[in-house]
Amino acid sequence: EPEVTQTPSHQVTQMGQEVILRCVPISNHLYFYWYRQILGQKVEFLVSFYNNEISEKSEIFDDQFSVERPDGSNFTLKIRSTKLEDSAMYFCASSAATTGYQETQYFGPGTRLLVL
C-alpha cells in the first residue's frame, strides 16, 4: 500500500536555526498538507498546498514558515528561525482529487522536532 514518508524522523536544533522537514507524498496525490502536534495536545493544521501554491494557511503558519514542492516528489516545510515553541511532531499528509467523498488524507509518520 502506498504511504507518505517523512525525513528525518527526529531533528534537534538550536533556537534561531533553520530547519527543513521533508515529505514524499503518495505519488498520484495532488493535495498536500502540514500539521503539527505539540506533545499532549491536538493535531493542528498548518498549511495546505495545491497546484504549486498555498491553498490555505492557519494563524500558526507565520512568516517564519514556508512550503515548497521543489520537484515532482518532495514537499518541504521550512522554519526559518526556530523558536522553543516550535518543538512538536510535524505531520505531512496528502490526498487525491477524486470527487464524491470528503477526501481521505493520508498522514506520514511524522518528524519530531526539538528546539533547544
Partner 1 sequence: LAKTTQPISMDSYEGQEVNITCSHNNIATNDYITWYQQFPSQGPRFIIQGYKTKVTNEVASLFIPADRKSSTLSLPRVSLSDTAVYYCLVGDVGSTDKLIFGTGTRLQVFP
**Cβ 110 to partner 1 shortest distance, Å:** 5
Question: Smaller CB distance to partner 1: residue 45 or 65?
Answer: 45
**Cβ 3 to partner 1 shortest distance, Å:** 10
Rounded to whole angstroms, the Cα distance separating 20 from 70 reads 12
Contacts with partner 1, residue ranges (CB under 8 A): 4, 31, 33, 35, 42-45, 48, 50, 55-56, 58, 89, 91, 93, 95, 97, 99-110, 112
Question: Smaller CB distance to partner 1: residue 74 or 81?
Answer: 74
Question: Smaller CB distance to partner 1: residue 14 or 102?
Answer: 102
What would the 3-class secondary structure string for the chain be? Answer: CCCCEEECCEEEECCCCCEEEEEECCCCCCEEEEEEECCCCCEEEEEEEECCEEEEECCCCCCCEEEECCCCCCEEEEECCCCHHHCEEEEEEEECCCCCCCCCCEECCCEEEEEC
**Cβ 18 to partner 1 shortest distance, Å:** 24
**Cβ 27 to partner 1 shortest distance, Å:** 17
